[in-house]
Homo-oligomer: A and B are copies of this chain.
């Protein structure tokens, strides 16, 4: 399916916003791209690199005449951004986002849409611990998984077009309920980020001098602790309920492990490790369609 949007507006020109702009331009999927963001300098750089064609210093102005609006700012401001631009949206405008949290946000944004404009939530599983336009590229979504999260109210034609957008930039689309999405990604992404941040802080708290002895294992385990603190603060706040559930499961496991260490229950410790190693090995090799975070 081929989709084309004459005027695309990217609200937030970071790694994902810049990559979607580049990906659409590279594939002739749009006429022009307008950017909006907090940093004029970043927007100017994006124009000079040819990532966007122009920018506006007001989100409302940036969305006037837009055929497609992509929310790619920190996800905590999606709602307020949409509230401020909704009166600029023309009839037929489509809105999507690239946020890592969906849940109740999807129906909230949906309910803000003016007549004739439609929102469909998206979560392309792409990107990394990097966060700026310098690392953006036109092929970021190539073979990446993209979760699209319609609701019972989602316009069927809008869903088709947003699916077409992601397929067009090379992604593999999977449809998922917004709340199921948050449960899944809390487990495989949000909670692991929380653990990685806390592991680094735990070691630094124990003795910062330890860190110079860290090998590749520690480096790999904590690579995602280099991710944008602002973005992950937002994700954790928006998906706090699922995170709190996982913390409870994890804490119980950690308490059991401590008991086993105290009681020298080698066999039971090994049994847990065997279980984990088996599960983890069954995930290999890494699929190209899951190469992002």
Q: Which residues of A contact B (CB under 8 A)?
A: 76, 125, 128, 145, 147, 183-185, 187-189, 191-211, 213-230, 232-234, 236-237, 240, 243-247, 249-251, 253-255, 257-258, 261-262, 264, 266, 269-270, 272-277, 279-284, 286, 290-293
* Interchain CB contact under 8 A, A210 and B226: no
* Interchain CB contact under 8 A, A199 and B204: no
* Interchain CB contact under 8 A, B215 and A189: yes
How far is A111 from B217 in the complex, measured between Cα atoms in Å?
A: 33
How far is A226 from B276 in the complex, measured between Cα atoms in Å?
A: 8
Report 19 cross-chain contacts, Cβ distance below 8 Å, ordered by A residue.
A185-B213, A187-B202, A188-B215, A188-B218, A192-B221, A193-B217, A197-B277, A201-B279, A211-B282, A216-B286, A218-B293, A219-B283, A220-B220, A225-B276, A230-B270, A236-B261, A236-B269, A237-B261, A247-B261
Query: Which B residues are in CB contact (< 8 Å) with A232?
Result: 273
* Interchain CB contact under 8 A, A247 and B257: yes
* Interchain CB contact under 8 A, A194 and B225: no
Query: Which B residues are in CB contact (< 8 Å) with A234?
Result: 266
How far is A216 from B193 in the complex, measured between Cα atoms in Å?
A: 12
Number of copies of this chain in the oligomer?
2
* Interchain CB contact under 8 A, B240 and A211: no
Query: Which B residues are in CB contact (< 8 Å) with A128?
Result: 216-217
Q: Do A277 and B221 contact each other (CB < 8 Å), given the known contacts A206-B249, A215-B290, A250-B199? A: no
* Interchain CB contact under 8 A, B200 and A280: yes
Give the residue among A145, A192, A251, A276 with the most B Cβ atoms within 10 A.
A276
Query: Which B residues are in CB contact (< 8 Å) with A283?
Result: 211, 214, 219
* Interchain CB contact under 8 A, A280 and B195: no
Query: Which B residues are in CB contact (< 8 Å) with A211?
Result: 188, 279, 282-283
* Interchain CB contact under 8 A, B249 and A205: yes
Q: A192-B222, A213-B290 are in contact. List 4 more A-B contacts (CB 8 A).
A: A187-B206, A217-B293, A226-B277, A247-B254
